Chain A
Amino acid sequence: MDQLSDDELDHAAEEDSDKEDQDLDKMFGAWLGELDKLTKSLDDGKPEKLRKAPLRQETNLANFSYRFSMYNINEALNQGDPVDLDALMADLCSIEQELSSIGKPNSGTSRLPPPGEAKLRQRPPAGHSVSGHGRPLASNFSLDDITAQLEQASLSMDEAAQQSSAGAVSDHEVRSLGRSPRSSINSASAGSMDSLDMEKPPRPPEVDGLQQPAPQLPSQDTIAVCLQEEQAAKLKAEKIRVALEKIKEAQVKKLVIRVHMSDESSKTMMVDERQTVRQVLDSLLDKSHCGYSPDWSLVETITELQMERIFEDHENLVENLLNWTRDSHNKLMFTERIEKYALFKNPQNYLLGRKETSEMADRNKEALLEECFCGSSVSVPEMEGVLWLKEDGKKSWKKRYFLLRASGIYYVPKGKAKASRDLVCFLQLDHVNVYHGQDYRSKYKAPTDYCLALKHPQIQKKSQYIKYLCCDDVRTLHQWVNGIRIAKYGKQLYMNYQEAMKRTEAAYDWSSLSSSSIKSGSSSSSLPESHSNHSTQSDSGVSDSTCSSHARSQSVVSSIFSEAWKRGTQMEESSKVRVSP
């Protein structure tokens, strides 16, 4: 199997697709072997390849992502863990199917050659002469090609549209849209194929999705000309929209990742670069059948630096993972973390800048959140106090008075009062993320174990550009970390939470169909996992805030205040009585 050339591999894949159920493991092995070989050859043959396509090396990130994911797979295999091969297999199968569907037009039996092909052949020399460097441009190559196809497609669509009636149009739209998911996958895989295989001329997969229906359109000329023109315009708009989607999807990167579960096992799955952390979490939750709770998190652990961070739901997972180095020992964990949304469950402990934890009525919590996050600007909690700062490149920690503002973290210089004008900017938050430090007492001789670190996400090794802060107690630590999150992400954070709560609610609605016992108020009882794993911070807010929606909070605020003014006016009236003799 290892001796197979790339083309042969395609054929093998094609054959396999006919008898899909057989030998999946074998095929998987072949795939891995092939990928491995390719990556090796890319590494080894670098200078040689460079002469052929030096630009590709620089620009093609897909290449990198495959190498990167290879590491994960190998690691998984080497460790001999019971890897969840089935899930991965499903993903690979879909790729394989795509490959075969690309392979078929290549053999050129029934279909016409795509009209764009002629252009395709001429394009590279054209680019050649423009660049004047004598280098074929692999990465642009396929995109040029796609755009050429699109132009072609649009022409034929226009023609078709002019003859078509309304009914035919909608029919056509449905069909072309219905097809788009498949062809988009095709295009994605075509992109990655190109990156792995230079010799093979890139295929334009969009062609069958867009062009095929065009000639089939029946012509029933019953509608006025103006209407037809309108239709044509609409059609064109629709087509352009579809085309745009495809252009975007053609460049989609995919990554095979290994996710560590809280019970020491791990799952391997494929993510594409458009997926947010929330989407990945959702699919993990679907697969792992664990109880739904908003606390499920993806946690990035940077082993070398002993720090970790919970990915925010709106973040892009692939983008973050690409910051890892190739030989990284970083881990991605799928686990429940109460601190992810503790901020929203007990906002009074984070937003009011108080020293002590306290209880608050739920409606007041909602009012507080509403006030903090739903105004025209997000108010950053007033965090200030003495923290320990690790001196650059030294082992010592020094005390400084820090303040958090929306524009960054500041400290009070020696001998000055804490007036805004005298503050010194310690750090602006645009480019850094906030991490929890682990066991810095022994690693960096920190005064306490409640440490946080601020660094650019790309930094993976010890560096003077990582800032370490140490708090006196765990409460201060959580307040600072959440304060920084609010300053950095603002309203987005609250939207993430609301989205997570919405899913939780939906999950409950669904489960209540099967077991009608769960009622809205008592949902905490159905959440045993969420409490068993975590010892700290009992969160009484979970159950109630689970069921509250944003819409409700609106009315709550106003009712609070209408109550307030009622009382106020009552008092005024009483005072009136007192005043007027």
Chain B
Amino acid sequence: MPVVKNDPQNRRHISDYNVRGKIVVVRLCLCLAEMKKDWSDHALWWEQKQQWLLRPAWTLDKCGIHADARLTFTPQHKPLRLGLPNGMTVRLRACFSGPTFRTVMGICKLLSMRHPEELSLLRPVEEKKKKKDKEAQEEVYDLTGVPLTSGADEMYRHAALCLSGSVPNLYNGMPAHFADSPQTEAVYKMLSISQPPPAPEVIAKMYRPASVVDKAHIHSRWLDSSRSLMQQGIQENDRLWLRFKYYTFHELEPKYDAVRLTQLYEQARWAILLEDIDCTEEEMMLFGALQYHINKVSQSEPQAMMSCPAMDDLDSALQSLEVKMEGESSSMDMLLTSPSISASRPKRLTLKGYKQYWFVFKDASISYFKSKEEGFGEPIQKMDLKGCEVAGDVNVAGQKFCIKLLIPSPEGMNEVYLRCENEQQYSRWMAACRLAAKGKSLADSSFSSEVKNIQAFLSMQHSNPGAASAQNDENINTHSLVSPRYHKKYKPKQLTPRILEAYQNVAQLSLTDAILRFLQIWQALPDFGVSFFVVRFKGSRKDEVLGIAPNRLIRIDLGVGDVVKTWRYNNMRQWNVNWDIRQVAIEFDGNVNIAFGCVTADCKIVHEYIGGYIFMSTRSREQSDTLNEELFHKLTGGHEAL
């Protein structure tokens, strides 16, 4: 029978072997592996039947192999080009022989991401010919050199270790296998630090699902978790996407999840930029502000995320003591220095326009006087800013720097407009108002950073929109932060103050907190985590949409988009698939039965999705150290279960 030896160095040797059916697989392998080389990763692939011969003790007869069989002796691990959630491509060696579920475990281990069960692989959206040329020049991070522990047991053990939350050994703040060379260190940096905002043109060019049906088509691309890559026709050096598939993120822990958090953030960010998930304008502005902040912070302190030793109790106590003492003494200081802040005299809006007053900012309140000379007497009015709402109205080009204050009082809200003369003054007063609104005084340690933040943000307005596409670190086109819909609706200049407004609520967040906040808001969106499939319900004549969410199934009218009915997994009694007619049938409490056939995706994918979510919900906090692979396959595998 012909056996093809797939050897990357020596091309292919095709040779005929005369073997008896009684020979066991392992013996055959040994015969083939006579050369001085490490053949341990090789195994036999039976092309016609699309299956691996992985049981060494079975005879060829038992495997069902006859003389006409064509076997290939080939490595089980082959290079794969993997598109990550952040849009980058990594070339790495992945397992082509085990179930995809295990392949993903291996990949996640290599990328040091915990909870591989939440991710899966899918075939990328076909790109147009024109783009193919471009792709050739695309930067590919190479990880194929990193030694892979081939044994499945080893992989198991490591996955368990990762899951258990025990601190992985870190070198230079990264897992050991990344610390080998500068190249791999660069890869780790790419994995764990979020990418700068994409140029608006890039966003506009990318594929955006326009309708629910488009979204449903994406989900038809998921690979089958219970079969191997080879079985699903994936070849060496093929391109696949790695994505979070199940939207239940178990125990996000910044300490261990640097890569996982970053990639999750990137996936969420792209989902929002590409309008994969709908949100309101206010939410979009907040997402924009958070992206801006995350980008800014991750560039200024790239190391902070890796080495974040929890501050010692005493340290924090001492620090807060310092702040306290500082605070006490400098509330006097501010009294002294406040005239210098207001030296250029902000103005106040009255009905007739702005009128000049002498303003003094002290503690958490603003007083104003007719003139500087009267600044020691009784103010005309004193406004306590605690709990007030602060908004900016800025136009750098028009030299307009206004602060709008909405100050609560028993009678209602007082609207006050302060007009500053220049950027410098505006940022100081704005920062002071922001702090005062939170009940902090000027002496608070965050004052200067607040001022800097505002100044940095204002600088975005300096650039004119034409030159904005040439980006640098300091200067981001605000169109990079929002989805194309808002590119049409607003100019970058108009967008800046809106994002700035939202930004002020998040400017003080640390990098990790900002990322977590972004994810939280994303998860709080009503459509979060819903994967769509076009299906046809039993007894119905038209196509409808089935949304599969982490906790429920949703039946959606395809035409109108309204939710027709929701079923929760909690009420689910059983579900099964009739593989003959490819129909999924589910029974809920109270004798509710539904059945549907799938239109846009294979029913195996739908079945796996539902089973996967139920598997996710069986994970408990106490037993996070074990990944019950067997259970996953039981729940998702259908008739091909292990």
Contacts and interface: CB of A to CB of B under 8 A. Distances in A.
B503 to A, nearest CB: 15
A217 interface: no
Interface string A542-581: 0000000000001101101110110111111011101110
A170 B551 CA distance: 54
Contact of B523 (A368, A376, A407): A376
B635 A59 contact: no
Interface string A129-161: 011110001001001100100000000000000
B524 A406 contact: yes
A377 interface: yes
A131 B335 contact: yes
Contact of B413 (A58, A325, A410, A459): A459
Given A460-B410, A564-B572, A420 B614 contact: no
Interface string B375-390: 0101000100001010
Nearest to A324: B410
Contact of B551 (A58, A371, A423, A565): A371
Interface residues of A, number: 78
Contacts of B317: 237, 240-241, 244
A574 B575 CA distance: 11
Contacts of B618: 558, 561-562, 565
Interface in A225-249: 237, 240-241, 243-244, 247
B328 interface: yes
Interface in A380-422: 380, 382, 405-408, 410, 417, 419-421
A580 B278 contact: no
B164 interface: no
Nearest to A563: B573
Contacts of A377: 519-520, 523-524
Interface stretch (B3-11, B43-51, B290-298, B318-326): B318-326
B576 A574 contact: yes
B570 A240 contact: no
A364 interface: yes
A225 to B, nearest CB: 21
Most-contacted residue by chain B among A247, A423, A558, A565 (CB, 10 A): A565
B639 A407 contact: no
A565 B580 contact: no
A380 B579 contact: no
B248 A465 contact: no
B336 interface: yes
A485 to B, nearest CB: 15
Contacts of A425: 280-282
A575 B318 contact: no
B336 A131 contact: yes
A579 B579 contact: yes
A519 interface: no
A494 B279 CA distance: 27
Interface string B51-88: 00000000000000000000000000000000000000
Contacts of A368: 570
A461 interface: yes
A58 to B, nearest CB: 7
A116 to B, nearest CB: 14
Contacts of A49: none
Contacts of A464: 412
Interface in A406-463: 406-408, 410, 417, 419-421, 423, 425, 428, 431, 456-463
B325 to A, nearest CB: 6
Contacts, number: 194
Contact of B280 (A131, A132, A405): A405
B331 interface: yes
A568 B576 contact: yes
A561 B332 contact: no
Contacts of A93: none
Interface string B553-571: 0000000010000101111
Contact of B620 (A243, A382, A558, A565): A558
Interface string B331-365: 11101100000000000000000000000000101
A130 B408 contact: no
B278 A421 contact: yes
B629 interface: no
Contacts of A371: 551, 570
Contacts of A378: 524
A347 B389 CA distance: 34
A431 B574 CA distance: 45
B252 interface: yes
B519 to A, nearest CB: 7
A240 B378 CA distance: 40
B283 interface: yes
B286 interface: yes
A572 B521 contact: no
Interface in B520-549: 520-521, 523-527
A375 interface: yes
Interface residues of B, number: 77
Interface in A322-345: 323, 325
A33 interface: no
A498 to B, nearest CB: 16
A225 B502 CA distance: 56
B133 interface: no
A349 B101 CA distance: 39
B207 interface: no
A70 B412 CA distance: 25
Contact of B635 (A133, A420, A565): A565
Contacts of B561: 417, 419
Given A425-B280, A464-B412, A569 B572 contact: no
A85 interface: no
A575 B577 contact: yes
A568 B575 contact: yes
A103 interface: no
B280 A410 contact: yes
B203 to A, nearest CB: 16
A382 B382 CA distance: 43
Contacts of A291: none
B278 A461 contact: no
A572 B641 contact: yes
A484 to B, nearest CB: 14
Nearest to A384: B526
A570 B320 CA distance: 60
A325 to B, nearest CB: 5
A127 interface: yes
A554 B84 CA distance: 34
Contacts of B575: 568, 571
Contacts of A562: 618
A463 B412 contact: yes
A355 to B, nearest CB: 13
Contacts of B409: 458-459
B508 interface: no
Contact of A133 (B279, B335, B631): B335
Contact of A576 (B314, B413, B639): B639
Contacts of B635: 565, 568-569
Interface in A80-139: 127, 130-133, 137
B621 interface: yes
B254 interface: no
A311 to B, nearest CB: 17
Most-contacted residue by chain B among A132, A564, A571, A578 (CB, 10 A): A564
B413 A568 contact: no
A137 B249 CA distance: 54
B165 interface: no
B209 interface: no
11 contacts: A137-B332, A244-B320, A405-B526, A459-B413, A466-B412, A554-B622, A560-B570, A561-B614, A564-B573, A568-B614, A575-B576
Given A459-B409, A460-B410, A572-B576, 5 more contacts: A147-B328, A405-B526, A463-B411, A466-B412, A568-B574
What 7 A-B pairs have minimum CB-CB distances, sorted nearest first? A463-B412, A406-B524, A571-B576, A458-B408, A460-B410, A420-B278, A377-B523
